[in-house]
Amino acid sequence: MVKCAKCGKDIALPFKCKYCGKYFCEEHRLPEFHDCPYLSEIATIKRQQKSFTTEVYTSPLKPSSSEEYEYEVVIKPVIQMPKPITGKELYDFLIAFFIVFFVGVSFAIPPSNVPIYLAAIVGVILATIYMMHELAHKFTAKYYNYNAYYILIPQTALLTFLFALTPFKMVFPGTVLMEHPSQKRVIGITAFAGPLSNLVLSSFLIPLIFYIYDPFLKFIVFTAIQISSMIALMNLIPITILDGKKIIKWNKLAWTILFITAIVHVILVYSGLLY
């Protein structure tokens, strides 16, 4: 078992800092959170990521003599934009999708004994909603001009697959990592976006389900509500590796509103009022 170099906590899934080479827990994995000795070098790299260009208008504003002219010079900063999805990231997304799909299909395994075609539908819904959650993180980070990458974590991906063979399921094949986040607000909002996307979906589907009378279509909508609500609620638990802890650090009121909404949705799901 590896210990976090910052807090000393035992960690099963350590994160290695690419600057100082030490191992840290989820909470202290970023250089600014473990007082990395290379913080000044990192700051220099960030400054170098901004470049400037000079535009000179060739039309003279006014002549000062017969041969000399004054020109207007405009300096425009060119900000480095977030990188698009890479081939490696797309590969990780696809592998994660099929692992999560398998979790849904595994409900056909005894003792659940769900018909295989229904289990396959559950798998597609589960994988799609999981991807929506992770992409919400990624694109929110990009909105704030941060690079963010989805990475497949081999250990948790394997655990997700193995737990699918048991009555106890887990869905954590990978995660979205932000590149050098420096603002607590941006980290919190990026974390907030994941469960928010799930609850927006379930909030849209809950009133809709009362107007659906076809049993098969109603099953699909109900399953989407159930999965969205549960993914949101589980991710809002305030522990280090989940979104809840980051959201609380940013805004306790935002976390409280989202958490209560998720509980209400889960209660509606298991109360029998929707299906």
Report the candidate in 224, 200, 228, 195 with the shortest Cα–Cα distance to residue 212.
Answer: 224
- What's the pTM value of the predicted model, to 2 decimals? 0.71
CA–CA separation, 104 vs 102, rounded Å? 5
Question: pLDDT tens digit string along 68-81?
Answer: 555 555 544 444 45
- Please enumerate in sequence order all residues whose Cβ is within 8 A of that of 182, keeping only pairs 6 or more positions apart, or say none: 32
- Please enumerate in sequence order all residues whose Cβ is within 8 A of that of 28, keeping only pairs 6 or more positions apart, or say none: 4, 5, 6, 7, 34
**Average pLDDT in the 87-96 region?**
93
Task: For 169, list phi and psi in degrees, rounded to 5.
Answer: -110, 150
**Average pLDDT in the 168-196 region?**
90
Report the candidate in 188, 97, 79, 92 with the shortest Cα–Cα distance to residue 141.
Answer: 188
Residue with tokens 């389900």: 209
CA–CA separation, 8 vs 24, rounded Å? 9
**Average pLDDT in the 138-144 region?**
92
Report the candidate in 118, 231, 119 with the shortest Cα–Cα distance to residue 172.
Answer: 231
The domain locations on the chain are 2-43, 50-79, 87-270
Confidence of residue 47 (pLDDT cuts 50, 70, 90): low
Three-state secondary structure along 229-243?
Answer: HHHHHHHCCCCCCCH
Confidence of residue 87 (pLDDT cuts 50, 70, 90): confident
- Pure H helices in 73-115: 87-105
**The pLDDT value given to residue 79:** 47
Q: Note if the bond before 115 is cis, omega within 30 degrees.
A: no
Helix, strand, coil percent values for the chain (each to nearest 5): 55, 15, 35
Instruction: State CA 225 to chain mean position distance.
Output: 20
pLDDT beyond 80 at 52: no
Report the candidate in 132, 177, 129 with the shortest Cα–Cα distance to residue 152.
Answer: 177
* 210 vs 52, residue with greater confidence: 210
Cβ atoms of 245 and 27 within 8 Å: the answer is yes
pLDDT beyond 90 at 24: no
CA–CA separation, 133 vs 230, rounded Å? 12
**Average pLDDT in the 192-201 region?**
97
Choice among 51-55, 91-95, 200-204, 228-232 with the minimum mean pLDDT: 51-55
Amino acid at 7: C
What is the DSSP code (8-state) at residue 77?
Answer: E
**The pLDDT value given to residue 1:** 65
CATH architecture type of domain 2-43: Irregular (4.10)
Confidence of residue 9 (pLDDT cuts 50, 70, 90): confident
pLDDT beyond 70 at 62: no
The helix or strand, by DSSP H or E, that contains position 48, with its residue range, turns out to be helix 39-48
